[in-house]
Chains A and B, each alone.
Chain A
């Protein structure tokens, strides 16, 4: 029996949830036992002109219904094609791939920090680790881009949303909003997913707080399983800069070791 397999899933739902943002629910015959928040699904498109699979974080999953939810922004050709798929369409999916966010057993309070589409990584974390207290911070460019607030409200002790232009929630960068609350919350760890520019800001904003920051990286991928070496990112290990593979060494890394 092989350890990994390619699964065929049926799309149950593929709907627009914000401007250029879609949520897709895919049903499978069975789900693998070991799904972790932060892991990803490698989705094959059904036309032969697009031969590379697309990696999407597993936004959430439901063991009763054997479904996996992905949430994606339409940014290029592949996601445009995907957004046109109707319920009933079948897709091939490799999952779960990558390492995922794993909370320390001694931790109690976890900050979930999402920037833009990065927020899509977060909901699966409380699903597979319900025993922790979650303080969720989501940042978006403007009101039109706000997504996943509802999903995360249900599982968070507190949730704060900010927009860069103040058109929804608090005004300003969510990293600064979080920094103001750090003293009060005293989280054991910060799990974050957003663009690289946000990680730079986060590093600065949380300087002086003794808290581990764990982030998820995004990359163009080929095989998704560690063989082709195209999804390289630079990390600092034992004082030496080297390339790691986002697909299997990540996508989750300690912020300290990522060379931004």
Chain B
């Protein structure tokens, strides 16, 4: 019998399609296009302990087959979330992954403690945001700090599975995957955006106010696939793959490389119903082939 359900750290998803943090708000906007309960899960906009204004305009630029963003974690703060969207999302039949970020280890611990009171099913630890100067990313580069922040969050937030979201802007992502596992992460997700720049040749200036931004979209898929495969061979904990997915065949590729579930990010902007459509297409594929989607995970056959 065909099966599309996946299980990550004890949490069951009705399908492996999750919307990526920062591209889907708290689900309200896309709920106007389709019932978000058709998705396996949603990741919230990155939350910080205090409300955050984010970076000045412009925050977005296009590149060939991709885009760059530098939003800088604009969000209403974790307390606002806990009083509003957390409660609304809890009523929905969809896995909710609360994405949290910080600038200091103390921030991460504080927000992780708050998350004990959240109704979210899982917590995704953003240690890889390239758009905030003093924070996030700094924790995501060196394996020792990946382990440290993961362990601290795990200790502070005992009753929720922790997903550590890895940055691709590192020398060896497999080392960081191992560090997250060592720190007690229940799962890892990758890849966050690649650090990049878009410039205007007329003004000789970067388009983004912040100069640099995070590259995402179809153009990053090959990088993401390889990194998922590298991590799959490095850790035992489940992997959530993301980076440039725009179709159900992309999902199959990520799962073959070792992802147990995937996230859809930039594609939501191109096609507002895109994540839902991918879930539908995937369901059809699995049924037509009478397969359990879990059987695909990590089945890549390398050339000799």
Which residue numbers of A lie inside 8 Å of B, CB to CB?
Answer: 2-6, 44, 48-53, 77-78, 94, 219-233, 242-243
Considering the complex of A and B, which 8 residue pairs feature the smallest CB-CB distances, nearest first?
Answer: A227-B25, A230-B60, A227-B29, A230-B59, A4-B32, A225-B29, A3-B32, A51-B270
4 more A-B residue pairs beyond the given contacts A52-B67, A227-B30, A229-B22, with a C-beta to C-beta distance below 8 A: A220-B58, A230-B71, A232-B57, A232-B59
- Tell me the bound Cα distance from A77 to B58 in angstroms: 17
Are B272 and A232 interface neighbours, CB within 8 A?
Answer: no
Are A52 and B62 interface neighbours, CB within 8 A?
Answer: yes
Q: If A6-B271, A77-B62 touch, does A229 touch B74 (CB 8 Å cutoff)?
A: yes
Are A51 and B218 interface neighbours, CB within 8 A?
Answer: yes
Identify which of B57, B64, B65, B269 contacts A222 (C-beta below 8 A).
B269
11 contacts between A and B (CB under 8 A): A2-B33, A51-B65, A52-B269, A53-B269, A221-B60, A222-B67, A227-B24, A228-B71, A229-B22, A229-B25, A230-B71
B240 to chain A, nearest CB (A): 20
Interface assignment of B243: CB less than 8 Å from any CB of chain A:
no
B19 (CB) vs chain A CBs: closest residue = A227
Are A220 and B60 interface neighbours, CB within 8 A?
Answer: yes
A245 (CB) vs chain B CBs: closest residue = B74
Q: Which residues of B contact A49 (CB under 8 A)?
A: 64-65
What band does the interface of chain B fall in when counting residues whose beta carbon is under 8 Å from A? 35 or more
Are B67 and A51 interface neighbours, CB within 8 A?
Answer: yes
Q: List residues 270-292 of chain B with CB under 8 A from any CB of chain A.
A: 270-273
Q: If A229-B54, A232-B59 touch, does A53 touch B71 (CB 8 Å cutoff)?
A: no
> Interface centre among A51, A220, A226, A242, by most B CB within 10 Å?
A51
Are B74 and A6 interface neighbours, CB within 8 A?
Answer: no
Which residue numbers of B lie inside 8 Å of A, CB to CB?
Answer: 22-25, 28-30, 32-35, 45, 53-54, 56-62, 64-67, 69, 71, 74, 217-218, 266-273
> Interface centre among B23, B62, B67, by most A CB within 10 Å?
B62
Are A233 and B57 interface neighbours, CB within 8 A?
Answer: yes
Q: Which residues of A contact B272 (CB under 8 A)?
A: 4, 6, 94, 223, 225
A240 to chain B, nearest CB (A): 11
Q: Which residues of A contact B67 (CB under 8 A)?
A: 51-52, 222
Are B62 and A51 interface neighbours, CB within 8 A?
Answer: yes
Q: Which residues of A contact B28 (CB under 8 A)?
A: 227
Are A50 and B33 interface neighbours, CB within 8 A?
Answer: no
Q: If A2-B34, A44-B270, A51-B62 touch, does A228 touch B57 (CB 8 Å cutoff)?
A: no
- Tell me the bound Cα distance from A77 to B207 in angstroms: 14
Are A222 and B60 interface neighbours, CB within 8 A?
Answer: yes
- Tell me the bound Cα distance from A50 to B66 in angstroms: 7
- Tell me the bound Cα distance from A226 to B58 in angstroms: 16
A28 to chain B, nearest CB (A): 17
Q: Which residues of B contact A233 (CB under 8 A)?
A: 57
Are B269 and A219 interface neighbours, CB within 8 A?
Answer: no
> Interface centre among A50, A94, A228, A243, by most B CB within 10 Å?
A228
Are B29 and A219 interface neighbours, CB within 8 A?
Answer: no
- Tell me the bound Cα distance from A150 to B249 in angstroms: 50
- Tell me the bound Cα distance from A226 to B57 in angstroms: 15
Identify which of A44, A53, A220 contacts B61 (C-beta below 8 A).
A220
Q: Which residues of A contact B59 (CB under 8 A)?
A: 220, 229-232
Q: Which residues of B contact A220 (CB under 8 A)?
A: 57-61
